[in-house]
Amino acid sequence: MAVQTDSGRRRHLLSALVQNRPGVLAQVSGMFASRNFNIDSLAVGETDDTNLSRITVVVMGDDRHLEQVRKQLEKIVTVVKVHDISSEDYVERDLMLIKVHAPASVRAEVQALVEIFRGRVVDVSPELLMIEISGKEQKIEAFIEQVRPYGIHELARTGRIALVRGDRPMEAGPDLESARAEAGATDEAVEIRGHSEL
């Protein structure tokens, strides 16, 4: 699933389970910056447990250096577990909202493209269509190229999120139980924050 380059660098997709506390996101992204890794994509959101959030990071790098970073991340107190899922069978998605110039003369053409890519129109104005589309990174990029000639007014993307296929959740194991116990024990002393404040 990972893309290998001639220099030995390849695309890595790291999934980190972290405690839902202020400053965690800064610590995680700072670790990559300190090792001179450029983050291609970063997405964060709460899990089914409000005490825990999942951070999904896409970076390019060689296996040895990424493994070192992964181990360093796990040493951060608020990081429960970090898993490089690049070599596993996983489902990956990216969500995009895009405003495309679509006056009456070309609106039918743009709507046909939206149907082909299984997107949907979520807002309409006299000159613009706002389109929602999700899927693999390649699909999103292909759609952008198809509508570029019409004129892109504005675009926002979530970044990649991913989960490994099958019935073995990354959360399983003693690390999760101890993290939950710690979060429960300190709930009165530490206010749990939303992922926007991580």
Note the pLDDT of residue 85. 92
**Strands 90-101 and 10-19, sheet pairing:** unpaired
pTM, two decimal places: 0.76
Q: Is 184 helix (H, G, I), strand (E, B) or coil?
A: helix
Measured CA to CA, the distance from residue 158 to residue 31 in angstroms comes to 21
Q: Is 151 helix (H, G, I), strand (E, B) or coil?
A: coil
15 and 179 Cβ atoms separated by less than 8 Å: no
| Domains of the chain and any CATH numbers | 10-89+165-197 (3.30.70.260), 91-157 (3.30.70.1150)
The residue among 172 and 43 whose pLDDT is bigger is 43
For residue 194, pLDDT over 80 is answered with no
Q: State residue 34 phi and psi, 5-degree precision.
A: -65, -25
Q: What is the pLDDT of residues 87-133, one digit of tens each?
A: 899 999 999 999 999 999 999 999 999 999 999 999 999 999 999 99
Q: Is 96 helix (H, G, I), strand (E, B) or coil?
A: strand
For residue 69, pLDDT over 50 is answered with yes
Q: Is 76 helix (H, G, I), strand (E, B) or coil?
A: coil
Q: What is the pLDDT of residues 117-175, one digit of tens each?
A: 999 999 999 999 999 999 999 999 999 999 999 999 999 999 999 999 988 666 545 55
What is residue 3's DSSP assignment? P
Residue 17: count other Cβ atoms within 10 Å of its Cβ. 21
Q: Which two tokens stand for residue 27?
A: 């610590």
